[in-house]
Amino acid sequence: MDKYQEALSSSAVLSNDEAVKEEVRKLTADSSRYETEEVYRFLLSSIDLTTLSSEDSQRSVAAFTQRVNDFDNDHPDIKNVAAICVYSNFAEVVKTTLDVEGVDIAVVAGGFPSSQTFLSVKVADVALAVADGATEVDVVINVGMLLDGNYEDLTDELIEMKHNARGAKMKVILETGALLSFEMIKKAAILAMYSEADFIKTSTGKIYPGASLEAAWVMCKCIREYYERTGRKVGFKAAGGVRTPEDAVKYYTIVKEILGDEWLTHDLFRIGASSLANAILGKITGNEEKYF
């Protein structure tokens, strides 16, 4: 048995589809108790504010970034978003425009959103983005290799991208909507963490269905188990289809109840979103917001 099979076979995380759905139902049944201003403020500060459009340009990304700058002046009593997330070729635009502290520069890289290109291209994409100022890189797991059981090449790819990130955080996107069972999501989560991922992330939001509460439950259970075995904390990011404050609170509930308050930080919990930021801001201000 190789080290990858050993890591997978030794996991005790529940992955039966019906059982997972029931666990999520029970866990989130009373999530409304967390629909408070304090939680909404935290959720806003956990957002990777994202623009990933074919229409993105240097001008539009600079304007997008400027809104984050302006937020500090317009809402000095509310903590800003966690990061700005853009395509890798715009890292330098964000770096030169961003002038507020505490907001990271995140990019999607490594053949996003399909991970279907040469490894040398993936590695170069990551390295160039970091050289241009990215402090976080979101890369996609090679789903084809995962489905074929080619775990060694899959993990080698991720490790090489991580090493070429040169200190930037690496979030590994599992593309859970393409994985047709919770058992497969479990495998993806474990392999990503053993490949030095700093975060595991649900989805690209581009091709397949986005985040689901069930996928989040499995991923957080895997993070807890991994931490108990290794002592290393891996973050969780929900992305793709998280559009309402109430939905965001349910992901908050799963992280809080499974991983605990120590995971409710900028460094270990994120939500990838665009319109969600306005909806949560509205919950805080009591007004309809179209700020971002």
- Annotated active-site positions, please? 138, 201, 237
| Buried-exposed string 109-146: b where 16+ CB fall within 10 A, e elsewhere | bbbbbebeeebeebbebbbbbbebbbbbbbbbbbbebb
| Environment class of 265 (CB within 10 Å of its CB; exposed 0-12, middle 13-18, buried 19+) | middle
For residues 107 and 88, is the Cβ–Cβ distance under 8 A?
yes
First-to-last C-alpha distance (Å) of the chain = 51
Instruction: Write phi, then psi, for 234 (nearest 5 degrees).
Output: -110, 135
d(CA 62, CA 13): 43
Two tokens at 179? 């994985």
Two tokens at 8? 């997978």
Q: Any idea which residue has 């990933």 for tokens?
A: 52
Closest to 239 measured CA to CA, from 171, 292, 285, 185: 171
d(CA 66, CA 52): 17
For residues 127 and 95, is the Cβ–Cβ distance under 8 A?
no
* DSSP secondary structure, 31-59, as one string: GGGG-SHHHHHHHHTTEEEE---TT--HH
User: Taking the CA of residue 188 as centre, how many other CA atoms within 13 Å lie in the half-sphere pointing to its CB?
Assistant: 34
